[in-house]
Every structure is written in C-alpha cells, then in structure tokens.
Structure 1
Amino acid sequence: MPSLARARAALKRVFGYDDFRPGQGEVIATVLAGEDVFAVMPTGSGKSMCYQLPAVVDGGLTVVVSPLIALMRDQVRQLEGLGIAAATLNSANDETEGREAWQRLVRGDLALLFVSPERLVGDGLVARLSEAGVRRLAIDEAHCMSQWGHDFRPEYRQLGRVREALGGPQVVALTATADRATRADVAAGLFARAPRVFVHSFDRPNLNLRFAPKDRPRRQIEDFLRGRRGVSGIVYAASRSRTERLAEALAAEGHRALPYHAGLDQGLRSRHQDVFLQEDGVVMVATVAFGMGINKPDVRFVVHADMPGSVEAYYQEIGRAGRDGLPADTLTLYGLDDMALRRRQIDDKDIDAERRRIEHRRLDAMIDLAEAATCRRQAVLAYFGEERGPCGRCDLCRSEAKLYDATIDAQKVLSAVVRTGERFGARHVADLLRGEATEAIRRHGHDRLKTFGAGAGRSRSAWITTTRQLFAAGALAAASDEHGGFRLTPRGEAILFGRERISLRSPEESAPRPRGARRAEREGSADGLDPATRALFEHLRALRLAIARDEGVAAYMIFPDRTLIDMARLKPRTLTALREAQGVGERKLARYGTVFLQAIAAFPPP
C-alpha cells in the first residue's frame, strides 16, 4: 500500500479522522518520502499530526523539540490514550517519570520522545539519543530559532549542531507564524540541505475578528462575555495586577474566572491551569505567557484587554481559539496608552538599531490593523503575504466603515497640540477644542488660545478618536515618558501646514459592531445545533466531564466538542455507527463507546 494510503488508514484507525485537514496530506506525504520539511501552517490546522502520524506509520524514533512543557505533557497523555508509545524529558519530570522514559528509550519502545530545547542541548542527552538511533527530528514552534521571530530562544540556535551530532536525521520544522525573514533565518540555521517548504494559508475563517477602541474596557469585556457563559475562553491583559482585577470583576459577574500570571504561587498557577484544561466553562484571565503550551481545542473566545505588540503575537494569541474548527470569537481593545506603551517598550530595549527598526515596523503594522477601515482578515493575511478579498464577516466588513478627508480636523488637533506646548494628552486637547473651561484649561490659560472652542460641534470622544488615529498614522508622537502628551512629527507638520492631506475613519461612527452581535452575545457562537440536539450535546458534555474527573485528565482528552456534536447529530445506536463520528478511533471506541451509546439511548431522561 502506498505511504499516503497507509497514513490515511492509520488516521482513521488510530485518530478517528476520515481524511486530512487542508494542507496536511502533502506535508505528511513529503515526510513519509524522507525529505526534510519546513511547514508554516496556521494554529488549528493540525501541525502536530505531520510528525505524529508518520511516527505511527513507519516506526523508528521521532524526537520532538518544543519549548512548551505543558503542551508536551498534554500531547504525551493524548498519544498514550490512543495507544501510541510516547514520553517526555523536561525539567518538570519527577524522578520516576524520567527513569521510566530512559528505560523505554533504551528498550526501543518509544515512537515519540518530546524534549525541551534546554534539556536537549544539556550534557549527555544528544549522545544517548544518538546511541538509541533517531529517525526523525521534529522542531515545533520553529520560529523560536530566528532572531527575527517574535519569540526568539537562544537554545533553538543550537539545534543545527544537535542535528549533526545525531547523525543527520530527517528534520521536520513547523510553526504557525513566520514571515519571509524568519523563514530564511530558520532554514539557514537548521537544515543541512534545502528543505521542502510549505506555506499554507494563514486564514482561520472560523474566527470572528473584532476590534474596538477602549471606552471603559472592563465594561466592554463584561458586555462581550455576558452571552458566553458556560464556554471556555481566554482574556489577555498586559500586567499581572490587571489580570487579577479583571478576574475578580468577571467572577463578580457570575463567570468562573481565574487569574494566571508569573507572580502567582506556582502551585496556585498550576491548579488554575489544570481547572481550565480539564473543565468546561472556565475563563482564564492571563498575561500573554499563558496559552503557549495549551492544547485545548474548544476555546470559544479570546479577548485582548490591551493591544498586542505585533501582528504575529496577535495572530498566535487569537489562534488559541477555535482549534477544533468550530466558530470562535475574538475581541481586541486598543487605545492611545497601548500604542505609546508599546513604543516605549521598544525604545527601552537594549537592542541594535536594525532590530529596533524592525520591531517598530511590526508595531506600526499592529496599529494599522487596529485602526483599519477595511477588512480585518484581509489586512492580517496581507501582512503574511497572502492576498484575499474582503471576508464579509469581520467587524469592518459588516459595519462598512468609511474614510473621510480629515485634513481640517487633523489641523485643528495638531494646532491645539502646538499651541499648548506639545506636552498635553488627548483629553486635554479634546476639552480645548470643544471649549470646555475645565480647571486644567483655565489654570494653564488655554481658554485664551485661538483654538479654544474651534471644534465645539463635535463630541469629546470624536476628538480623542481623531487624536488617536493621528498618533497611529505617525503625525503625532509621545512627547516624553515623564509628562506624557504629544508632539508633532515631520508628517504632522506637513499636515498642519497644508503640504499633505490625510484621510481617517470617521470618529462619529460608533465602534464597529457586527450585525447579529447582540444575538451572539446572548447565545454565544452559533454552531448550527437545534435545541434538541444542543440538549443532547450538553448531556454528553456532562458525561465527558464526569469521566475526565474520574480519570484525572482534561475533558477534551476523552472526546473534543466536535466529536460530541457529531454524536448528538448522528445519534448512533451501535458501535459501528458511533465510529462514524469524527475523532472516534479504535482505542477510544473500545474504551468509551458503550457508555456514550448508553447515554445517547437514555436521552432525554424520563
């Protein structure tokens, strides 16, 4: 039987899937042909299958390098549950786990060994792996190898030497986020010969993209989550204190919300992570470090309480939602403070001028995405070099935001900034233009300026929005870290003195809001289930949770939501019929099939 046909048969027998996801088949076929591979595939596209399935099909030892200890441990548990021999060696191993992994390695019993890069480059491990014989070296999160990547890790730079020390095994490198410069850097440092490169579509059509300017952000987040009770999600915040305050506020609103950041006690942080992984309906409020090692497929939303620092970071973080392919929602809040903070963070880094220029360019792209007037998805894909038409589903496509010639309004803002000495913020400028004789306006004598009241016909929020967009467009810059406020840039001077015109999104429009958003906030993401089918799905979720708690594993490791939805729709009565549900392989059919059939047959309860 040809290799890909054998792989497809194993995909159904072991993993319970009828066919490959888009892009998987050609990568797996190339791996099985023995070629080196560098694959850039979006989160949720099934990258891990590209090294797991070949290990099942053709045997030998595959060493998987990953920086994410929690993810490695999850993958090992999932693979063992499917009957695939797997183990991990990392700093979190206790003595018993480490000894057992070594014994299985020496006996040749392992198909996959997961190791952290720090553990792999440590003394002795490479030599022992070389003795055991490594058929394939799989590098997950391969962008970490590049100095141009958004998550560079020095240990990854040594993987080229590790490959040589292991005798030059086949290399399979995978990542979800790598622009051209990052891909070139990884390829030059890792591969001895030119690999087959696969760059698949970055599009995640199941993710609903939505941005909003900050306007009482806690209330905005609470409004967003109000209709999403009972589903799992992540809220990202920029600081530890902010995560704790948001978690408390959401808990007070009735959500099961938990904080997660590096400052928490290690035991408490681990318990919070376990609760999020193992149970349904938990909202994790966290700094961005959380989620890197989370292999939870049924995260139904990701919220950014603060603007990410780059499109790469944004894309990777929203990619933690909807990994099962079902609909998921995203909301990103942003404001002037975010933009100024991100710029200061770059300027304060101890990096060379070229690196600083690149990071500023990436931040500019993120700001452009936040302030875009046309399709969000189109803008994200264009950033990664992929041309697409408007998606018709994001907030901007649905709201049809319009640009207008904002030159005169911009000149009023810029003039107000200059006349007040280039040291005041957006609210002060807005009050000045509206003719609001606040205490600060009077104290500084700004009520006597020519620009006082020059914009009385517009709201304060409209002038703040115009100021924010001018900052985003590079017409304004932060005046100083000490006092805040704005100063004009050369572009701002060109606009003020009539040498350049500028178009902005109309500030009189409310924050873009998709049609049907109110219904989505009441009901959560649509999954197409009628009430009776949904009731059976929830019944099966409750059964799954009870089994998971009894076995001490994450609920999705029993069956993911997508499999339970298939069961609820198909309502199988026999084991043969149950196997038609996606994700039901032979091992899980034998282990859980009867109890789920009984639950389906007994529903609805008497």
Structure 2
Amino acid sequence: MNKELSLTGQLQKYFGFDRFKGQQEEVIRSVLDGNDSFVLMPTGGGKSLCYQLPALIMEGTAIVISPLIALMKNQVDSIRSFGTEDGIAHFLNSSLTKVAIQSVKEDVLSGKTKLLYVAPESLTKQDNIDFLKNVNISFYAIDEAHCISEWGHDFRPEYRRIRPIVQDIGPAPIMALTATATAKVQHDIQKNLGMLDARVFKASFNRPNLYYAVKPKVKPETQIIRFIKENEGKSGIIYCLSRKKVEELAEALQVNGIKALAYHAGMDSATRSGNQDKFLMEDVDVIVATIAFGMGIDKPDVRFVMHYDIPKSLEGYYQETGRAGRDGGEGQCIAFYSYKDIQKLEKFMQGKPVAEQEIGRQLLLDTASYAETAICRRIMLLNYFGEKLEEPCGNCDNCLNPKEQVEASDEVVRALKAIAEVNEKYKAEHISDILTGKVSAAVKSFKHDQLACFGSGDDHSDRFWNAVFRQSMIAGLINKDIENYGLLKINEKGRQFMEKPESFLLVRNHNYDELEEEASSAGTGPSGGSGGDPELFAMLKDLRKKVAKKHNLPPFVIFQDPSLSDMSIQYPVSLDELKFIQGVGEGKARRYGKEFVELIKTYVEENEIERAQDLVVKTVANKSKMKVFIIQSIDRKLSFDDIADSKGIELRDLITELEAIVNSGTKINIDYYIDEIIDEDHQEEVYDYFREAEDDSVTAALDELGEDEYTEEDIRLMRIKFISEMGN
C-alpha cells in the first residue's frame, strides 16, 4: 500500500474522514518526517488533527502542552470517543487526585497512551519532569502558542519556560500551533522555542462567510436583545470583559425571554461546564462569556458572535469572531464600540511595567483604528495578519454602508499647535477646552485662556476635537505619554505634518462619542426624531402639563421628553411596566405614573393597538453598585473629586450618573458640594430660572444666564438640586 493511501486510510480509520482539509496533510507529513513545524491556522481550520493523527500513528507518546483544563478534557473525551480504549489519551493537571495521577503515569509508561495533555504549570513541576524523562516522546505539540509572545493577545509567562524544560526532559520534534499570530508574534514564538528553522504552514485568514460590523455602543443591551429576537433560535456567543457584566447581561436576556446562560472563570467548574454543555446540546441559544469561553469548542453552527466590549487586541477579536460560522454558513460578527472603553482598558494598564504598557497601548491603538476605520474591515483585518486582499469584501458594514469622511488637515494642524503651545503637558480633554474657548476651572487656573490658541477651534464641539486627537493618534502623529498618564505628545511624524500638512480624512460617521451623546440626550422617540407614536406623544405632553400645574412644578420635573418618547414607543399599561421606561424608575412611577398608564391603556384599547411586547426590552431591576456607592458617598459628604477618582471616572461622568439617579426619582442632597463652588446669589438665580423654564436644556440656561457667569457644570449641578428637591 503506498504512503499516500495509507495516510488517508489512517485518517479514515481513526477519525472517519475521507479527505484532509487545507494544509493538514502537509503538516502531518512534516511531523512524521521529524521536522519542527509552525502551524498558523484560523479557528475552525482543523489544527488539532495536525497533532492528533501523527500521535496515533507514531511510536511513543506525544506531549501536548495546552493552557486550558476544560479544553484538555474536551479533546481527551473526543479522542476516546473514536472507539479505542480510554488509555489512548490522558491529561495531567491540577484537577486530578493523587490516585488518578498515578493511574495516568502507569498507562503512559506501559505505552498505551499516545497523547498526553499537560498544562504548562504542571510541566514545570520537578516530579513531572523526572517522570517524562522515562517516557518515549514522539514529539511536543504546543497549542495556543501565541501565549508565548508578549505581543500575543493572551501572554502567559509560564509559556516562556517551555523550551528549557523540553531540553531538560529530552529532545524531540516541536510543533507550535496557533489560530492568531502577526509576523511579530510568529517570530517571537519561533525564537523563544529555538525553532527558527521550522517548516512554516500558514493558512489564509480570510473567512468570506463572516460579516463584520462595528456599532456605536449606544444602549447596547437594547440593540443586542432586538438582534437576537430578529434571529430567533440561532446560536450565538456574546463576549464581555468583566464577569459582572457577563452576569448582568445574561440576566437581562433571560428577563426578555431569551434562552441564555453566563460563563466565566469566577463560577464553580460544575456550573461552568454544565452551562457549556447546555450550549453545545442546544438547550440554550446564547452564552454570555468572558474570553475564556470557546477555546477549542467545536460547535459548527454558531451564527453570531458579539463583543459587548471592544477586545484588548485584534488577535483576540479575530480568534473570538472565528467561532462563528465554522460550517461555512452564515456568521455575523458585531462589536460595540465606544472610545471610553479604550480609555478604560488604558487605565487598567497603569502600574504595569513600562514595556508591558507600551505593548498593551500599541495593541489597543490597532483595535481602535479597526473600530474607527472607513475602509473595508476584512482588508484591514487580513492586513494586520500580513495577508493582502485586493478588492473590498462586500460583506462588512463599511462596504455595504460607506462612512462619510471629511477633510480635516487644517483642524489637525490646529490641534497639534495647541498641544505644542501647552508644552505637551496636558490631556486631550483639557486641550479641547482650550480649542473650543471653554473657561473651565483648570483653564482659568493655568491662565490658558490667555494663549494664542484659546478659542481657535470654537467652530467645532469638544467631541469633534476629541475625535481629531484620537484619529491623529491612530495615524501616528501624536502619542499618549505612558509614564505621565494621558498627556499628549507630538512625535516626529506629527512635527513633519505641522510643517508640511497633507490631506487628512476624518471619519465623520465614526465620531462615536457624538453619536452616543446624541442618543442619550435625544432618547428614542419622536423628540429624538425616531419612530414613536406622535399622537400619543402629544397627548402625554398635554397630560404632563396638567400634572405639573397640579403639583406646581415645571413639566420636565415630572417626566423628561425622552421618557414620554419611550412611553409612546413601548405603550406601558401598568406601573410595573412604566418603571422600566427610560428615566422613570420605581419612585417616579409610583408618584406620578397612575394617570399616565391609564391614558396609555385607554389609547391602546381605543385604537386597537397591538403592543409589540416581544420587542419591548425589559430591564433588570437596577442593582448598580456604582449608583449605590455614589448615593452612600454623598450621604457621607465626600468630595466629588474623591468619589470620581475612586471609581476611575471623570467628574463630568459622575454628574451624568447623578442626573440619572435624580431623574428616576431618588432624592439626594448635594448642597455641601454646590455651596463650595457656587455662591448663594448665583445658586438662587439658577434655581429661579428652572422654576419658570419651559424645559431643562443646559444650553438654553447658559444662553439666558450668561456663559461668562456660569459653566455647564454649574448649571447641571443646580439642575440636579432643583429636580431632587422639587420633583422627588
């Protein structure tokens, strides 16, 4: 029998397949010939077969070094299921008892075991090293080899120790396998393992069946629930960066009638593997998980992968999205993006060694540029992995809905000049205040209102300027100083740009922060210009006026426009439903809600309206620790700066949280802080203004009261005081 036939015959015998996929056969021949091999195959490309089949064919035991205990168990079960005896594959890790370890070692020494899976931590134990010295090793396979590289998305220091340990145990061919590696990561892996001469097998990273899209992170829960309802019964994975968010989102999906479960490293292993099995067995449709989920899980029909939080690197993103559509069918990959998430991830890097921060920052920059780009996403992704795609793919959001771009070279020069004029010693927010001519407390105290560049950018908003800084950073004109966190520095390329400006296209549609703010201020209904019931909205406004008169309050204290707007979309007919309306909450629903739900109920009956309750996104009762922490801190009269610092947020974000707290009916007393920064006469003037005001617009208040007298912050704080005292 010729070798050709026998290899395919072995494949048929052990795995029941009659042909190899992609480069599998070449890789296997290389291993059988005793070569070191580097295998780069995207998720779903059949990497594991590349070491499983040669291990079954060759003399001795293959040592497979793998990072995840769940993954090892999965693979061992899978090999045993092909009908040979259990001893053929084992794993050696911390989950085994002493008795079990002894039994594994006996099977290995007797020659029964063809594949031994070992965690890198177990490999470093001296008694395991001594044991492996007595084993006939066919070859070493290092799975998820990107863990070796500090530039990889999942770096693990213990992976860097594999090479010396392998040399200590005894030489045998080495095979490194990964689903994601840039040229830099590949070189790092080969160098660290001492296999620069290895044969390299690289499959294409292009998965034409996957659709890539990035959406602004505006009400992400609502967007996710709507998407899943429109794709009922399809399997999907949603990735979040924190365990807390995983649990909150899974609960929100369940409340909305979606079969979903959570998965993260903080759960006990029985619950975790139980949830994973339910997903594989299709008892649930959706798993909400941290990144640990899905490695090595071979579910071919995952139809969507969503990223609630933008990942820390494009390798991580590519690997996670690669779990969609493995069967070649539809796979939608949707990420939600807000630049604030990038800033949050940058904050987490503080305190790490500078070299690590440098790497982390570069990886985040690549991710931000992918999220904000106007070019074909597939071209950009493949380019990141060193592969060229000649034509736009026609299967991503940028191809199907091209983004508007505007020429902004003049604005970039103005931004760079402002950074230079403050001697590169300030953050983006402060410099955008200078450009827009905003006299904030910091601008005043540093006398930056006397600079030549002060007000030179007042033809744009601060959000626009923040987008200019961000995209200039992505284009490599400015850097953020790592040591002095967040200060903007102009680099060589930036200096050249100031001297000889070139065309600079700013992606208009991806000014995400602007979209976010518009969405949160506009609400979702008629006042925000979208799809509610205009007739009901008008009736609700009339009722609000009547109720306000009765209580002798301005109408916006009862319910704000976005709340009425949401009512005209969702038709709540009970107080229980009303409390889930945007900006209402339990307190306000009880205090003012009765007449509103009665009016809506009558309107729905008279007009025979079918309420699309299945698409009404119910929210989970708000158990936000942040809000509780803020309320308790204010009760203890802590300074606002201290509260904001301890939660890692800006002062303006704290004020936004306070607005949400009072708008939904909770009473808080912030007099101790206001008295410190606004004198009594000014307080009275703003308070009286809001008593008579038509609406609660900050811009209108500033126009009326004078921007030279008050800052936006002053007005927002006084509005919080007013609504809390009058309405709650």
TM-score by length of 1: 0.71
TM-superposed CA distance for 1:333, in Å, is 1.6
Q: Paired residue for 1:399, among 376, 398, 401?
A: 401
2:3 corresponds to which residue? 3
TM-superposed CA distance for 1:96, in Å, is 5.5
1:76 corresponds to which residue? 76
Gaps of 5+ in 1: 512-606
Q: 2:311 aligned with 1:308, yes or no?
A: yes
TM-superposed CA distance for 1:471, in Å, is 5.6
TM-superposed CA distance for 1:326, in Å, is 3.1
Q: Paired residue for 1:252, among 246, 255, 278?
A: 255
Counterpart residue identity of residue 172, structure 1: M
The 5 Å alignment of 1:149-164 reads 149-164=152-167
2:340 corresponds to which residue? 337
| CA offset digits 1:144-194 (Å, max 9, x no partner) | 223443323233233223333443222222112223333233223324682
Q: 2:331 aligned with 1:328, yes or no?
A: yes
1:454 corresponds to which residue? 459
Counterpart residue identity of residue 39, structure 1: V
Counterpart residue identity of residue 399, structure 2: C
With over 3 angstroms needed to count, the CA separation of the structure-2 counterparts of 1:497 and 1:62, relative to structure 1, is closer
| CA offset digits 1:431-469 (Å, max 9, x no partner) | 979x9x99x99xxxx99x85797349xxx9878766654
With over 3 angstroms needed to count, the CA separation of the structure-2 counterparts of 1:336 and 1:419, relative to structure 1, is farther
Counterpart residue identity of residue 362, structure 1: L
TM-score by length of 2: 0.60
The 5 Å alignment of 1:110-509 reads 110-191=113-194, 194-292=197-295, 294-352=297-355, 355-389=356-390, 390-408=392-410, 425=429, 450=455, 454-455=459-460, 469-470=471-472, 472-473=474-475, 489=490, 500-501=501-502, 503-508=504-509
The answer as to whether partners of 2:62 and 2:139 remain within 8 angstroms in 1 is yes
**Larger RCO, structure (CA 8 Å, separation 6 or more):** 1
Is the deviation greater in 406-415 or in 104-113?
406-415
TM-superposed CA distance for 1:302, in Å, is 1.5
Corresponding residue SS for 1:124: helix
TM-superposed CA distance for 1:48, in Å, is 0.5
With over 3 angstroms needed to count, the CA separation of the structure-2 counterparts of 1:61 and 1:263, relative to structure 1, is closer
Counterpart residue identity of residue 203, structure 2: H
CA–CA distance in structure 2, aligned partners of residues 305 and 470 of structure 1: 26
The answer as to whether partners of 1:469 and 1:504 remain within 8 angstroms in 2 is no
CA–CA distance in structure 2, aligned partners of residues 47 and 480 of structure 1: 38
TM-superposed CA distance for 1:31, in Å, is 1.4
CA–CA distance in structure 2, aligned partners of residues 319 and 508 of structure 1: 27
2:15 corresponds to which residue? 15
The structure with the largest alpha-carbon Rg is 2
Counterpart residue identity of residue 48, structure 2: S
| CA offset digits 1:72-105 (Å, max 9, x no partner) | 1001111111124211111122456434423322
CA–CA distance in structure 2, aligned partners of residues 139 and 240 of structure 1: 28
CA–CA distance in structure 2, aligned partners of residues 216 and 318 of structure 1: 22
With over 3 angstroms needed to count, the CA separation of the structure-2 counterparts of 1:413 and 1:357, relative to structure 1, is closer
With over 3 angstroms needed to count, the CA separation of the structure-2 counterparts of 1:494 and 1:31, relative to structure 1, is closer
Counterpart residue identity of residue 154, structure 2: D
Corresponding residue SS for 2:501: coil
| CA offset digits 1:260-296 (Å, max 9, x no partner) | 3334455443433343344354322222233335444
With over 3 angstroms needed to count, the CA separation of the structure-2 counterparts of 1:496 and 1:121, relative to structure 1, is closer
Corresponding residue SS for 2:230: coil
Corresponding residue SS for 2:9: helix
| CA offset digits 1:571-606 (Å, max 9, x no partner) | xxxxxxxxxxxxxxxxxxxxxxxxxxxxxxxxxxxx
Corresponding residue SS for 1:177: coil
CA–CA distance in structure 1, aligned partners of residues 134 and 457 of structure 2: 79
The answer as to whether partners of 2:354 and 2:483 remain within 8 angstroms in 1 is no
With over 3 angstroms needed to count, the CA separation of the structure-2 counterparts of 1:169 and 1:315, relative to structure 1, is same
Alignment RMSD, CA only? Answer: 4.1
CA–CA distance in structure 1, aligned partners of residues 217 and 466 of structure 2: 11
TM-superposed CA distance for 1:503, in Å, is 2.7
The answer as to whether partners of 2:418 and 2:435 remain within 8 angstroms in 1 is no
1:563 corresponds to which residue? none
CA–CA distance in structure 2, aligned partners of residues 479 and 128 of structure 1: 49
With over 3 angstroms needed to count, the CA separation of the structure-2 counterparts of 1:509 and 1:87, relative to structure 1, is closer
With over 3 angstroms needed to count, the CA separation of the structure-2 counterparts of 1:183 and 1:77, relative to structure 1, is same
TM-superposed CA distance for 1:253, in Å, is 2.3
The answer as to whether partners of 1:145 and 1:186 remain within 8 angstroms in 2 is yes
CA–CA distance in structure 2, aligned partners of residues 205 and 485 of structure 1: 39
Is the deviation greater in 329-338 or in 199-208?
199-208
The answer as to whether partners of 1:346 and 1:359 remain within 8 angstroms in 2 is yes
TM-superposed CA distance for 1:338, in Å, is 1.9
Higher helix share: 2
With over 3 angstroms needed to count, the CA separation of the structure-2 counterparts of 1:431 and 1:499, relative to structure 1, is closer
| CA offset digits 1:528-572 (Å, max 9, x no partner) | xxxxxxxxxxxxxxxxxxxxxxxxxxxxxxxxxxxxxxxxxxxxx
Corresponding residue SS for 2:47: coil
| CA offset digits 1:118-164 (Å, max 9, x no partner) | 11221222332332311122111122223443323233233223333
With over 3 angstroms needed to count, the CA separation of the structure-2 counterparts of 1:282 and 1:415, relative to structure 1, is farther
Corresponding residue SS for 2:96: coil
With over 3 angstroms needed to count, the CA separation of the structure-2 counterparts of 1:77 and 1:333, relative to structure 1, is same
Counterpart residue identity of residue 363, structure 2: R
Corresponding residue SS for 1:210: strand
Counterpart residue identity of residue 34, structure 1: G
Corresponding residue SS for 1:48: helix
Counterpart residue identity of residue 365, structure 2: D
CA–CA distance in structure 2, aligned partners of residues 287 and 272 of structure 1: 13
Count of aligned pairs: 503
The answer as to whether partners of 1:369 and 1:376 remain within 8 angstroms in 2 is yes
With over 3 angstroms needed to count, the CA separation of the structure-2 counterparts of 1:479 and 1:364, relative to structure 1, is closer
CA–CA distance in structure 2, aligned partners of residues 160 and 293 of structure 1: 24
The answer as to whether partners of 1:417 and 1:429 remain within 8 angstroms in 2 is no
With over 3 angstroms needed to count, the CA separation of the structure-2 counterparts of 1:2 and 1:280, relative to structure 1, is farther
| Paired-residue identity, % | 39
